[in-house]
Amino acid sequence: MRLVNASLPFKIVYALYHHEYLGYLISPHVVQLLPNGELSLVHQGISPGNMSQFAKNLTSTDEALIPLLHEISPKAIAKRFGGKPRELTAFFTTKFKGQVKELAVAYVQRRLARVIPQLSASLVYEMAHDGYPAHERIEVSETKASVLFHFRRKDTFTRYYPTIKLGDEKLDFRSSASAIICNEPAWVLLKGKLISFKNGMDGKKLKPFLKKDFIIIPREKEEEYYQKFVRRIIEKYDVFAKGFEIRTIRAVPSFSLEVNNHPNSFSFIPKVSYNRFEMRLFTEGKVKAFLEKKGDRYVFYRVERTCQQEKELRQFLESIHPNKHSLTPWEYVGREVGLNWLSANMEKLEAQGIRIIQHNPEQTLNLSRPEIEMTTRPNGDWFDIRAIVKIGRYEIPFVKFRSHILKNKREYRLPDGTVAILPEEWFSDYRHLMEVSKASNGELMRIRTYQAPLLNLPVAGKDLMQNLQALQGMDRVPAAPPPINIKATLRKYQAQGYDWLVFLKQHKMGGILADDMGLGKTLQTLSLMQAEKEAGNTTPSLVVMPTSLIYNWKNEAAKFTPQLQVHIHTGINRSKDPQAFEGYDLVLSTYGIVRQDVDLLKNFPFHYIILDEGQMIKNPESKTAQAIRLLKSRHRLSLTGTPIENTVMDIWSQMAFLNPGLLGGETFFKKFYVTPIEKEQDEVRSAKLKRIINPFILRRKKHQVEQELPPKVEKLHFCEMEEAQQQLYEETRSAYRNYLMELISTNTWKKNKLNILTGLQKLRQIAIHPQLIEKDKYQLDQSGKYQEVKRLLLQITRRGSKILIFSQFVKMLHLLRDDLEQEGICFNYLDGSTRNRQEQVETFQQNENIQVFLISLKAGGVGLNLTAADYVFILDPWWNPAVENQAIDRSHRIGQKKTVFYYKFITQNSIEEKILQLQQQKAKLSDDIISVEEDIYKSLDARDLSELLGS
């Protein structure tokens, strides 16, 4: 066969032909032109593979249609639906059946429906039997034909046939030359024309009349045929009828929502009604037909729909759809989703004039929105709450809903058998209240006064809610008379903290004083204790703290409130009789002792129980927390710089001690607050918890009170030795003291002074950490000072502050360095071996992530400017105070805009205390400060050495 020469004139031709299995197809061809411009017999197929050869004559329509038609060629169909090109015949004879056939034919029909309308300006021919593509010309009509369906009802049958008109011409398509090329929408080949129809005619409706003049429906099948077939014809097409009536209905639509209540779900069916004719809203078509049989007569009602109004309402419903991504809208939704949707959208539905229809009497929903009227009345330390719920005509005590709210049940059966839907927000707003309130007199609920924040409403007859709000704004807390015999002048924020503590006490509430470290929580608390003494209280108060803080509390009390009688309840020789507390104002003890002595302490009626470092009871399951909760007192208080360290659960344990019942039970709190806040980032639940606990927590950060603070705040922080540390210290001290006494008795101590100084150095190391002299023998936690340094360091770094840590012992810095790496805390390090000193300084100053700078005495004494730090730790006292001042000056220099807190850690009952005393004695003898540490060694006489090695 000759191929078309693309360099000579040619035309693109579309050939219609009938395929044995696929029905009518269209294939594109290239036909060579004769010199006179007519089509020759030379032709070939054109496809995406060779269309580039003929590109000069291709229109944009050709470029779009050729690939589409290639997709429905028999080879492409065989390949797409499971066959291979070389097995084309086998595919159609063996595999082309059932679902494969159905899918393939539908695929071809969809492509033809896209292609044929675009062929009106192209050359379209019917293919000859020999395959020549331009046998007879076909016109693709742009004018659409109309169809009129005729029905004639007779006594024994109904006759049915269509008539077709193209313009004014009536077409007779009952001939062998007529064919239905495409079904949806219908394209019919009739007398050399491809014709389409108005109203989207389905070709299957016309197919029977290619060979028949009419169809007969016997009387016995008439009603079913009218309902299933004729009614749908009337909805879509023009109909002329004799023997039955067709009435057209035009009316204003009304809308409804059918609610079907199933055991585990709901179905919502939106409907539209025109007079008495009802249909689903989400159905297609401008006309809906209904059939009524009246005796032997049939009447079809042809309801014309108001499309614009239906469209607007459909858009509204889609905007509030419970599942906008559902593939089957408005059918079934889960029960919880359905209840939430109804509750949230009832008012919107009513505003749109949508009626709610329910058909199940036993599951009929009462869609009136429940409303609560709540009043409260103070009753001593309690509040009585009277709450009435109004649902339609019913008034029900709110307490009756307790079980439903606690069990998360949305449906409440009313006296008439209908079911009310409880608002979803009730289960968030009132679950906590129902959890902690107590039933009273059948219709009342009762809560503690400190649980009032759960109500979030004004309290009748009392200003407690205003007082609770005042707790959150210090300027609204009334000023309390200050204690007379306090040996300190409270700064403004400290006086406000004292006022807050008094306010809590007056209203019998517990609270957490959560000021930043260094702002004077101990002083504010001692002021409260002094005021209580001056007010006539004689009952002891118990202060529980970590062991390392006992000495600090004792010193602070002696310094600021010397009138307070203080009893230390620690050590193996402590009293086993609580009556020993009588006559004392403060009993100082530790968490460990309280845990051991809980049976002794739990029945003693303390005035206050105060927890320093209150986060120590953050684990409610711990024996310490359980023991603390067994103690009895009139008032309770917690001091901590970190009320929440790791989890929201930390606050529950503290509040369970301070204000029992405020946050409900442990299981409830975990489910209702901890999980939503920590795992689901529920901001609403977080805000609710904050509103409840905020009145009972006073937190001032350092930067908030900066203007009230002096440039430098210095604090001695005393630490107790651990047992093994104490034993090693005593053994070493005793050995060197005996050695010194022997030297003094023989008057040879001066010659051997270096050995004694070596012993002093060992004692200093042991006071810091025994690992400094025997690393492998002692654990990291076998140093009281080390534990305190780490505890405070973690508090500071959690708040984002920066800290300088100085020690003259590099080994101590190495211990801290290793520990910081384990904790994942970024730090810089500087000792005598550090080469990039300036780089270390600059990164600490500029990098917010680096919070700790470990510095040795000799390397960091001079030449450093570290104003980014606002805390300085001096881990070991130095013989020369001037050297300490040099370290302090690293952070307190020109350019420092923050108050700097300096903590000097002193191990109690050790050489470090002796060094402090010696410094003070030497300072009194001379106004000059010794400039180098070695000089003070030379000035030590036998008495000094004996004092340093004394017990």
The Cα–Cα gap between 504 and 520 comes to 18
Which of the two residues, 837 and 891, has the higher pLDDT score? 837
3-class DSSP state of 421: strand
The pair of three-digit structure tokens given for residue 576, joined into one six-digit string: 């086993």
Do 259 and 339 lie in one domain? The reply is: yes
Do 699 and 745 lie in one domain? The reply is: no
Which of the two residues, 270 and 929, has the higher pLDDT score? 270
Return all residues near 806 (Cβ < 8 A) that are at least 6 apart.
855, 856, 857, 860, 872, 873, 874, 875, 887
- 3-class SS string, 617-679: HCCCCCHHHHHHHHCEEEEEEEECCCCCCCCCHHHHHHHHHHCCCCCCCHHHHHHHHHHHHHH
What's the CA angle centered on 585, arms 580 and 588, to 5 degrees? 70
**Structure confidence at residue 625 as a pLDDT band (50, 70, 90):** very high
Sign, CA dihedral 469-472-476-480, equals: positive
Give the tens place of pLDDT for each residue, 553-610: 999 999 999 999 999 999 888 998 888 999 999 999 999 999 999 999 999 999 999 9
203: region left, alpha or beta (phi > 0 left; psi from -120 to 50 alpha): alpha
Measure Cα distances from 223 to 218, 292, 293 in Å: 10, 10, 9
pLDDT of residue 941: 66
What's the CA angle centered on 815, arms 809 and 816, to 5 degrees? 95
DSSP strand pairing (419-421 vs 411-413): antiparallel
Nearest CA to 410 out of 320, 322, 341 is that of 341
Contact 241, 294 (CB under 8 A): no
Do 738 and 822 lie in one domain? The reply is: yes
Q: Which domain holds residue 731?
A: 714-948
Alpha helices in 120-210 (DSSP H): 203-206
Do 699 and 744 lie in one domain? The reply is: no
The Cα–Cα gap between 411 and 423 comes to 10
- Residue 328 in any domain: the answer is yes
Do 811 and 913 lie in one domain? The reply is: yes
- Residue 184 in any domain: the answer is no
* Average pLDDT for the chain: 85
User: How many CB atoms sit inside 10 A of residue 475's CB?
Assistant: 6
Q: Which of 197-206, 432-441, 470-479, 733-742 has the lowest mean pLDDT?
A: 470-479
State the CATH number of the domain containing residue 731. Answer: 3.40.50.300
What's the CA angle centered on 238, arms 234 and 241, to 5 degrees? 70
- Residue 338 in any domain: the answer is yes
Do 545 and 596 lie in one domain? The reply is: yes
Nearest CA to 123 out of 62, 37, 68, 64 is that of 62
Do 602 and 701 lie in one domain? The reply is: yes
Do 579 and 691 lie in one domain? The reply is: yes
Residues in the chain: 951
Locus of tokens 């719920």? 389
pLDDT of residue 461: 39
DSSP code of 262?
Answer: -
For residue 185, cis peptide bond before it (omega within 30 degrees of 0): yes
Which of the two residues, 370 and 755, has the higher pLDDT score? 370
The last residue of a domain, from among 326, 361, 396: 361
Backbone phi and psi for residue 688, each to the nearest 5 degrees, phi listed first: -65, -45
Burial of 484 (0-12, 13-18, 19+ CB in 10 A): exposed
Backbone phi and psi for residue 411, each to the nearest 5 degrees, phi listed first: -100, 130
Nearest CA to 586 out of 617, 554, 560 is that of 554
**Structure confidence at residue 927 as a pLDDT band (50, 70, 90):** very low
- Residue 189 in any domain: the answer is no
Q: At what angle do helices 649-658 and 623-630 cross, to 10 degrees?
A: 20
Q: At what angle do helices 98-115 and 60-70 cross, to 10 degrees?
A: 170
Asked if the model's pLDDT at residue 922 lies above 80, the reply is no
Count of domains for the chain: 6
What's the CA angle centered on 351, arms 324 and 318, to 5 degrees? 15
The last residue of a domain, from among 124, 140, 156: 140
**Structure confidence at residue 878 as a pLDDT band (50, 70, 90):** confident
The Cα–Cα gap between 504 and 634 comes to 12
Burial of 579 (0-12, 13-18, 19+ CB in 10 A): exposed
Instruction: Report the amino acid identity of residue 516.
Output: D
Q: Which of 206-215, 465-474, 716-725, 862-871 has the lowest mean pLDDT?
A: 465-474
pLDDT of residue 68: 94
What's the CA angle centered on 495, arms 637 and 873, to 5 degrees? 75
Give the tens place of pLDDT for each residue, 778-790: 887 788 899 999 9
Give the tens place of pLDDT for each residue, 349-399: 888 999 988 877 777 888 888 888 888 777 777 777 888 899 889 998 888
Nearest CA to 128 out of 47, 16, 12, 259 is that of 16
Compute the average pLDDT of residues 680-686: 89
The Cα–Cα gap between 539 and 586 comes to 9
Return all residues near 761 (Cβ < 8 A) that are at least 6 apart.
none
Return all residues near 727 (Cβ < 8 A) that are at least 6 apart.
none
Contact 257, 355 (CB under 8 A): yes
| Most confident range, picked from 255-264, 502-511, 638-647 | 502-511
- Residue 106 in any domain: the answer is yes
The last residue of a domain, from among 707, 722, 756: 707
Asked if the model's pLDDT at residue 493 lies above 50, the reply is yes
- 3-class SS string, 358-394: ECCHHHCEECCCCEEEEEEEEECCEEEEEEEEEECCE
Do 223 and 288 lie in one domain? The reply is: no
DSSP code of 441?
Answer: T
Do 570 and 487 lie in one domain? The reply is: yes
Instruction: Report the amino acid identity of residue 541.
Output: S
- Residue 606 in any domain: the answer is yes
**Structure confidence at residue 471 as a pLDDT band (50, 70, 90):** low
The Cα–Cα gap between 376 and 399 comes to 14
Contact 432, 378 (CB under 8 A): no
The Cα–Cα gap between 240 and 595 comes to 99
The Cα–Cα gap between 681 and 943 comes to 66
Compute the average pLDDT of residues 899-916: 87
Do 899 and 764 lie in one domain? The reply is: yes
Asked if the model's pLDDT at residue 464 lies above 80, the reply is no
Full-prediction pTM beyond 0.75? no
903: region left, alpha or beta (phi > 0 left; psi from -120 to 50 alpha): beta
Give the tens place of pLDDT for each residue, 90-101: 888 888 888 889
Do 533 and 593 lie in one domain? The reply is: yes
Return all residues near 841 (Cβ < 8 A) that are at least 6 apart.
864, 865, 866
The Cα–Cα gap between 112 and 183 comes to 10
Locus of tokens 């103070």? 378
Return all residues near 893 (Cβ < 8 A) that are at least 6 apart.
865, 867
